[in-house]
Amino acid sequence: MQKKFVANLALLLFMNLLIKPIYILGIDRAVQVEVGAANYGIYFAIFNFTFLLTIILDFGITNFNNKNIAQNNHLLTKHFSSLVSLKLLLAIAYIIICILAGLIIGYDVRLIKLLLVQGFNMFLVFFILYLRSNLAGLHLFKTDSIVSILDRLILIFLCIGLLKTDMLKSEDGIMYFVYAQTISYSITVVIAFIIILKKTHTFQIKFEKAFSLMILKKSLPFAILTLLMSFYNRIDTVMIERMLDDGDVQSGIYAQAFRLLDATNMIAFLTAGMLLPIFSRMLKYKESVEPLVKLISTLLLAPAIVIGVGCLFYSHELMELMYKEHIEESAKIFGLLMLSFVAVSTTYIFGTLLTANGNMRQLNYMAASGMLLNIVLNFVLIKQFNAYGSAISSMITQFSTAIIQVIIVQRFFKFKVNFRLLNTFIAFTVGVIAINYATHELLNIHWMIKFVIMTISCALWAFITGIISLKSMFRILKYG
């Protein structure tokens, strides 16, 4: 199982690292520069606003389906038509509630129009995730890898066309960007749907009340978890935009800093998407998950520590490289957000294991605590420190919830406390901090050369400390 996981994870990451950084760091950044911080800030706030309401759109069906299909492949044909029909009904309810919620919090006609299109885009995004959950549940990871990059690949070409014109600089420039997303998502949905249809061999729109109520009841814990985690992960910019007089600009500054975190989160998110069906199947057949947890912890957390600490030290240089405005403000935010990547990666590992094991009550208590903590901190800190206050709130929340999940896993799985591994991680982290301080503060050369030296030194330190072992990796790949 470990051999299969590593091989498929490598393919998934390779495909996504080939395409998505080009979009996030190239296309999306260029779009923000073209439309301006204020316009992009409004878009980013509305994007996160629509994300907060996705409990209505998905209702935990995607995670439930991923786990369910992984353990019972034959249910794909039986459930596919009914689940698609249910998701279409939920989409209608979601769009209506989005519009009503937008009116309640004071969005004008222009923002309601943006909200409507973005809400439809969010439906397409979550429908793609649902279709991909069927592929992952069937362990069709190669096909899933292709589908996972298809929308961004199409969007890159569409946005290149927009960037070559002056359309993005117009008053409705941000709308053209959102329409381009609609086209790319729609094409991806059609292709993914056809692939799944070939596996089910039959499809018809049908609404079965009893079946729908049963699915909603079973997926309710997943839906609550999605809602709670969405709030403490995405409510930041909504609160910034609504609470501050220059909320659109502050939201845009936060978005500048958030972009690289979004790019790096892709690695952890894709890993979790693959881990869920694998964990689910292993737990069903009573296989020990401890070796896989140890393996993925070293593979994911070691790079996360290097990325988080490195971006904290080089935050100003990286923001200056990417943007022309609001460098100082976004650099401060960026450093804290990227440090949070260590906590986010931990959550993706241990939270996914708990989801696969069905510990939804414990996860929901954790997420509820995280949501309350994040909202309270945001109310206090945004007023004092603007967008930077939200970054502080996010970092505290992410580390708090990550630690809670590790404790819950230890309680339920009774893993042996690996003091050797813990000491190795501590030594590795201290070394990474020392390397960053030495290269950033003591070397008198161009910062890019410093950054390269830092990265190479941290990689060597990973092998010296034993966090990453070529011998163990070769053994896993050879013998699985």
Q: Is 460 inside a domain boundary?
A: no
pLDDT band (50, 70, 90) for residue 478:
very low
Q: Is 230 inside a domain boundary?
A: yes
End-to-end distance of the chain based on CA atoms, in angstroms? 6
Q: Is 386 left (phi over 0), alpha (psi -120 to 50) or beta?
A: left
Give the pLDDT score at 343: 93
> Tell me, what DSSP letter sits at residue 208?
-
pLDDT reading at 137 higher than 80: no
pLDDT reading at 392 higher than 90: yes
The angle formed by the CA atoms of residues 466, 470 and 473, to the nearest 5 degrees, is 105
Q: Is 463 inside a domain boundary?
A: no
* Cα distance between residue 262 and residue 338, in whole Å: 9
Range scoring the smallest mean pLDDT among 18-22, 54-58, 126-130: 18-22
Provide mean pLDDT across the span 219-232: 78
Q: Is 335 inside a domain boundary?
A: yes
Residue 123 tokens read as 């439906």
Give the pLDDT score at 6: 58
Higher pLDDT, 93 or 478: 93
Q: Is 327 inside a domain boundary?
A: yes
pLDDT reading at 359 higher than 60: yes
Q: How far is CA 253 from the centre of its chain?
A: 20
Range scoring the smallest mean pLDDT among 36-45, 128-137, 166-175, 195-204: 195-204
- Cα Rg, the chain, nearest whole Å: 22
* Cα distance between residue 152 and residue 124, in whole Å: 13
> Tell me, what DSSP letter sits at residue 441?
I
- Are the C-beta atoms of 91 and 123 separated by less than 8 Å? yes
Domain count of the fold of the chain: 1
User: How many beta carbons lie within 10 A of that of residue 277, not counting itself?
Assistant: 24
34-43, 100-109, 444-453: range with highest mean pLDDT: 444-453
pLDDT band (50, 70, 90) for residue 34:
confident
**Residues 49-65: pLDDT tens digits?**
888 788 788 777 776 76
Give the pLDDT score at 479: 37
* Cα distance between residue 435 and residue 205, in whole Å: 59
Give the pLDDT score at 157: 92
Alpha carbon dihedral 181, 66, 131, 142, in 10-degree steps, equals 90
**Residues 318-344: pLDDT tens digits?**
999 888 788 888 999 999 999 999 999
Q: Is 213 inside a domain boundary?
A: yes
Higher pLDDT, 231 or 158: 158
- Are the C-beta atoms of 103 and 173 separated by less than 8 Å? no
**Pairs from 186-194 (Cβ < 8 Å, separation ≥ 24):** 186/124, 187/150, 187/151, 187/154, 188/124, 188/128, 188/147, 188/150, 188/151, 188/154, 189/124, 189/127, 189/128, 189/131, 191/147, 191/150, 192/128, 192/131, 192/132, 192/135, 192/147, 192/150, 193/131
- Are the C-beta atoms of 394 and 236 separated by less than 8 Å? yes
pTM of the complete model: 0.74
pLDDT band (50, 70, 90) for residue 297:
confident
Give the pLDDT score at 480: 42
* Cα distance between residue 297 and residue 290, in whole Å: 10
Residue 309 tokens read as 């600490």
pLDDT reading at 28 higher than 90: no
- Are the C-beta atoms of 347 and 269 separated by less than 8 Å? no
Domain span at 117: 2-416
Listed in sequence order, the residues at least 6 apart from 415 whose beta carbon sits closer than 8 Å to its beta carbon are 290, 293, 409
Percent of the chain with pLDDT over 90: 35
In one-letter notation, the amino acid at residue 362 is Q
Q: Is 42 inside a domain boundary?
A: yes
**Residues 402-426: pLDDT tens digits?**
999 999 999 889 888 888 889 999 9
Provide mean pLDDT across the span 57-78: 66
Give the pLDDT score at 472: 57
Provide the mean pLDDT of the chain: 84
**Residues 457-472: pLDDT tens digits?**
999 999 999 887 766 5
Give the pLDDT score at 335: 93
Q: Is 348 inside a domain boundary?
A: yes
Provide mean pLDDT across the span 204-233: 77
**Pairs from 200-209 (Cβ < 8 Å, separation ≥ 24):** 200/76, 200/77, 200/80, 200/81, 201/77, 202/77, 202/81, 203/80, 203/81, 203/84, 204/81, 205/81, 205/84, 205/85, 205/88, 206/81, 206/82, 206/85, 207/82, 207/85, 207/86, 207/89, 208/82, 208/85
Range scoring the smallest mean pLDDT among 45-49, 73-77, 98-102, 447-451: 73-77
